[in-house]
Amino acid sequence: MNSPPDFHDGFVDGVLLSDSSARILLRTVEGDRFTLILNELEALRVNNLRKGNIVFEVVFLEPKQLDASFVVELYGYNDEHKKTFAFDEWVKEATRKGLTAIENTPSYGCTILAIFRSHSFTAGHDELS
């Protein structure tokens, strides 16, 4: 699949995790099902997963496109760590590692933040292997 499907007004149907990957089960507004596979997962945060999660947008971002609040929320840093967090250094290291980020912004329900090395989409809802 060359470009990601349009998930605006679609749905997050679930998230499956393994040690180093995640499968995000997505459905378009037309009802077409896809699995977003995140490989070499560095961090994942899923908040407010509910029945009927409605997607506003799914965006892929390079480390230099992120801001410190994204990283702080993703890793769940406490107030003390926020004070000493060296964001510019984090961006350099994430770029060196070849990491990419994803942000699922909801219209209703589930927010997903992740950072990983590679990703792919498959048709249907795959199982973890």
Rounded to whole angstroms, how far apart are CA atoms 90 and 120?
25
Query: Is residue 106, in this structure, part of any structural domain at all?
Result: yes
Q: Which of 46, 69, 64 is nearest to 100 (CA)?
A: 64
pLDDT tens across 88-126, in order? 999 999 999 999 999 999 999 999 999 999 999 999 986
Question: Above 80 in pLDDT, residue 127?
Answer: no
Rounded to whole angstroms, how far apart are CA atoms 46 and 15?
8
Task: Judge whether 101 and 63 are in contact, CB under 8 Å.
Answer: yes
Question: Above 70 in pLDDT, residue 5?
Answer: yes
Rounded to whole angstroms, how far apart are CA atoms 104 and 9?
12
Domain that holds residue 56: 11-123
The per-residue pLDDT for 94 is: 97
The per-residue pLDDT for 1 is: 54
Query: Is residue 3, in this structure, part of any structural domain at all?
Result: no
Q: Which residue has the higher pLDDT, 35 or 4?
A: 35
Number of domains forming the structure of the chain:
1
Query: Is residue 5, in this structure, part of any structural domain at all?
Result: no
Stretch 30-55: mean pLDDT: 95
